[in-house]
A and B are shown apart, each in its own frame.
Chain A
Amino acid sequence: MESFKELMKDGRFKFAFIVICVLAFMSLLSFFSPYNPLKWNVVPRDLPPRWPHIFGTTSQGQDLFWQSTFAIRNSLTIALIASSISRVIAIIVGLVAGYRGGRTDTILMSINDSFVVMPLLPILILIASVMRGNLTMVALGLILSLFGWAWDARVIRSQVLSLREREFTYTAILSGTKTFNLVIKEYFPFIIPIIFSTIINNMIWAIGMEVTLAILGLTNIEVPTIGTMIHWAVNYQSMLLGYWWWILTPVVISIFLFVALYLLSSSLSEYLDPRTRIQRIGEARG
């Protein structure tokens, strides 16, 4: 709880936390939506923002506000699936490569770096266009997770490398600790902060990819996500026709989402950074 209060002192964290809470609240509202998001023409079309349709309606006859609640919920779900699974992959690769070293390390890092250097967008486009239309949320999350682990695996690996050289490792090995226990019990407390700060960055990337693929029309565009909302708005020429609320709503929501997540991640990682943490502790005690 104290850490939370500390964090709230940081203006960035405060802003980010509030925005995320609002968005989370909106996604929870989706369970109470009076309209089925998959149906068209449930409300009058092309209405500008006015009560009771506070965000306006689309050319397909859907209420933008309730669509947004679903969109936020789904986009966040996809992002969570993608980043959690990729964490697991990143941890496994990073731990094995960092601890084993030698040839295993070289081979793993070679493959790892291929994923870092490769331009992922064209490849994802290729995959998505092959699976066209069948890309459910879970499938999309899985595919994204298969490509999003590389950068963070490297970070974890370097942390493991430095831990391996520390004295407590030798002590543990000499006292007969099994490798598995050593890794799990001793190293994990150091790795957990890394996981926290990278999971948010990974979510940003995942949402970004989802929106990109959706705009291109490659994901299942029936399911409302932030990306598909933009897709439909662009497809129906909402700008040309002057229905600015249709394109603006998902754009503004996504800006808030991205900025909030980014500020959250940078304030958290600065808080968890041992160097700045020691400074803070020294100051608090003095």
Chain B
Amino acid sequence: MDILKTENLKSYYILEMGTEKKEVKAVNDVTIGIHEDEIYGIAGESGCGKSTFLKTICKLVEPPLRMVGGSIYYAVDGKYVDVAEVKEEEFRKLRWKYISYIPQGSMNALNPIIRVKESFKDFFTAHQKINDEKKDFEEPLKQHLSALGLPMRVLKSYPHQLSGGMRQRTTIALATILKPRIIVADEPTTALDVVAQRAVIQLLKDIQKLQKNTIILVTHDMAVHANITDRIGIMYAGMFVEEAKTEEIFENPLHPYTRFLIASLPKMGDKSYKPSVPGTPPSLSNLPPGCPFHPRCPYVMDICRKERPPLVETNTDHKSACFLSSKEGLQ
């Protein structure tokens, strides 16, 4: 079964100024299922709603962001639980033990006035009792850090004493301390140099192999997706437009947007001219009718301007939201 699924999920930023009201439809009717024991990547350009989607499924929704429709289900103890029906205190207990979060730019993710070890302790004790400090907390912590290749000195340091890459890896260690079933990572490599990026990607791979959990990885860097993800979901203007196994996406993209995306990736030895998508992404507060991509799509048909294509399975394990592939099949 899926470890997490959403049905018709809608999450908008609602800005009200006096009598004017503006809705930014960051997550616009998303129905998606994430499997167990996989690394699921979400790709898309800046501003397409990826980070908002992550925040929504973690229930980290703060005004002006509001979840306005749909449902989120976690698979807890073999049953689907509607997240909206879980009470605050119950959900607080679920956090970190079931689902943890690695934020974009962990530069500021740790409390600056306490040592790293104490931050770990705070997160730990929020969900687990410590009877014997050494046995229940320190030993497992040290093991965890060494398994992830982090030096022990990190524990004694204050966050500002660590380098950016080190801080990011510490945050990852913190996110996995309770061995959660789902880890949600929002652009974990974006703020780092290439060397640190490699270390982070390797770390995530190792954790997943070790703990056999699910990682939902958001990044606009297709190279990272190619490197570690099992499946990829492509987001555009608040919607998922394609979803398939990583190799499928790279070798056989169906949705016109994905095709442009893959075609624009540089290849070693290939010096040909790379086309990019004409036009600009739509404003999320002022979406065009029908398919949100239709103003820029070279294969646009009449129906595309009127109706929004649903995300349906067009090949085995390959979903696409486009009237092209659903009508004419493989191109």
Chain A residues, CB < 8 A from B86:
none
State the CA gap A280–B18 with chains docked (Å): 11
A-B contact number at CB 8 A? 13
Interface assignment of A283: CB less than 8 Å from any CB of chain B? yes
Chain A residues, CB < 8 A from B285:
286
Interface assignment of A255: CB less than 8 Å from any CB of chain B? no
Interface assignment of B147: CB less than 8 Å from any CB of chain A? no
List residues 270-286 of chain A with CB under 8 A from any CB of chain B: 280, 282-284, 286
Interface size, chain A (Cβ < 8 Å)? 6
Chain A residues, CB < 8 A from B15:
282-283, 286
State the CA gap A282–B285 with chains docked (Å): 12
Give chain A nearest CB distance to B25 CB in angstroms: 12
List residues 1-49 of chain B with CB under 8 A from any CB of chain A: 15, 17-18, 20, 22
Chain B residues, CB < 8 A from A286:
15, 20, 22, 285
State the CA gap A284–B17 with chains docked (Å): 8
User: Residue among A9, A284, A286 with the most chain B CB within 10 A?
Assistant: A286
State the CA gap A105–B190 with chains docked (Å): 37
Q: Which residue of B lies closest to A280 (CB)?
A: B17
Give chain A nearest CB distance to B98 CB in angstroms: 36
Chain B residues, CB < 8 A from A283:
15, 17, 20, 22
Q: Which residue of B lies closest to A285 (CB)?
A: B22
State the CA gap A280–B15 with chains docked (Å): 10
Q: Which residue of A lies closest to B285 (CB)?
A: A286
Chain A residues, CB < 8 A from B18:
9
Chain B residues, CB < 8 A from A280:
17
Q: Mark A167-183, 1 if CB is under 8 A from B, else 0.
A: 00000000000000000
State the CA gap A283–B24 with chains docked (Å): 11
List residues 268-310 of chain B with CB under 8 A from any CB of chain A: 285
Instruction: List 7 interface pairs A-B (beta carbons < 8 Å), by A numbering.
Output: A280-B17, A282-B15, A283-B15, A283-B20, A283-B22, A284-B17, A286-B22
B residues near A (Cβ < 8 Å) are: 15, 17-18, 20, 22, 285
| Given A282-B15, A286-B15, A286-B285, 10 additional A-B pairs, CB 8 A | A9-B18, A280-B17, A283-B15, A283-B17, A283-B20, A283-B22, A284-B17, A284-B20, A286-B20, A286-B22
